[in-house]
Amino acid sequence: INILAFESSCDETSVAVVQDGKTILSNIIATQIKSHQRFGGVVPEVASRHHVEQIIHCTQLALQEAHIKYEQLAAVAVTYGPGLVGSLLVGLMAAKAVSWAHDLPLIGVNHLAGHIYAANLVKSLQYPALALVVSGGHTELVRVSAPGQFHILGDTRDDAVGEAYDKVGRLLGVKYPAGKTLDQWAHEGQDTYDFPRAMLQEDNLDFSFSGIKSAVINTLHHAQQIGAPINKKDVATSFQNDVLDILVTKTKRALAQYPCAQLIVAGGVAANSGLRERLTAELTPQVELIFPPLRLCGDNAAMIGAYAAVAYQQRNFSDLTLNADPSLDFAYQTED
């Protein structure tokens, strides 16, 4: 079955055609990064306007590139949260219009379920699986007990890890989004600064990244006051090492508590080469690691189409009253 999928939760307008949740026939991604860079982050109103301008063209391109006509589609899928409400609404309106005009079932998809099921485009998921979701807005350890069954095991108490990268990057004068550059610098500098690794010793699966961000701010301010030089690459190396210590330690703890055959690393920060190296070195062959290719780590509609195939099989359809839910999230694990 072919599913037409829409993703517009943040600053990427994306439309894809995915076959059987496994094969990408097309995955058009129009990024708005250039429009937001001068503001140092995403401006919601600007984002919504760009989505409006881009979405029809992206839809046409997606169908054209896939060589698929509306009659060959089985369903239309769309991200309905979490994300920016104005941005989400544009994708929702487009998906509903296609659904109504072509009499196709509508499938509302949780953006984070999409990030996790990007892994299914690479390898068939085995259940239960553990997902480390690391993105611009989220840092969660999620147990996937069965297709479409998600349980949060641990979450961030404050900043998301991608947000911490972007804020530290901004302090160091790196353009938004800063993750990729800091990752590069981290491989070129030395670990000379000591930043706190919050909640590492605490016996839970939660994260905190605001302390490490404040420590970087204080270090830079202090150096400025006393006129000491700052080695930006060393700051990046020290910051990344501390962040990776936290992510890897908590992931290992989750695997010890909830044994799984597969570990899925999902979200924009899954592109981090240091994270890939460390998890591979420390967790194979204990678990099978799935890192989606870089293009599928960031926001894209193919991942939404990948998850939509699960919802389609379960006949989990939405109607035209489907609304945007900016703070949509999974439920916490309760049973043990």
- Contact region with Fe ion (CB under 5 A), list: 39-47, 182-190, 212-220, 297-305: 297-305
Which position has the token pair 């389609």?
A: 312
Least spacing, CB of residue 248 vs Fe ion, in Å:
21
Does residue 132 interact with ligand ATP by CB under 6 A?
no
DSSP 312: H
Q: Report how far apart, in Å, the C-alpha atoms of 68 and of each of 1, 5, 180, 247, 307 are.
A: 11, 13, 35, 41, 20
Contacting residue, 3, 4, 5, 10, with Mg ion by CB under 5 A: 10
Residues 92-121: x/- map of binding to ligand ATP (CB under 6 A)? -------------------x---x------
Does residue 13 interact with ligand ATP by CB under 6 A?
no
Q: Where are the alpha helices (DSSP H) in the chain?
A: 33-37, 44-66, 85-101, 111-117, 161-171, 179-186, 210-226, 232-257, 273-283, 294-297, 302-313
Does residue 271 interact with ligand ATP by CB under 6 A?
yes
Contacting residue, 140, 159, 242, 299, with ligand ATP by CB under 6 A: 299
DSSP 268: G
Nearer to Mg ion, 79 or 262 (CB): 79
Angle at the Cα of 295 from the Cα atoms of 105 and 242, rounded to 5 degrees? 120
User: Given CA atoms 238, 244, 245, 247 in this order, what sign does their dihedral have?
Assistant: positive
Contacting residue, 299, 302, 304, 324, with Mg ion by CB under 5 A: 299
Does residue 81 interact with ligand ATP by CB under 6 A?
no
Give residues in contact with ligand ATP (CB under 6 A). Answer: 9-10, 82-83, 111, 115, 135-138, 162, 165-166, 177-180, 183, 267-269, 271-272, 298-299
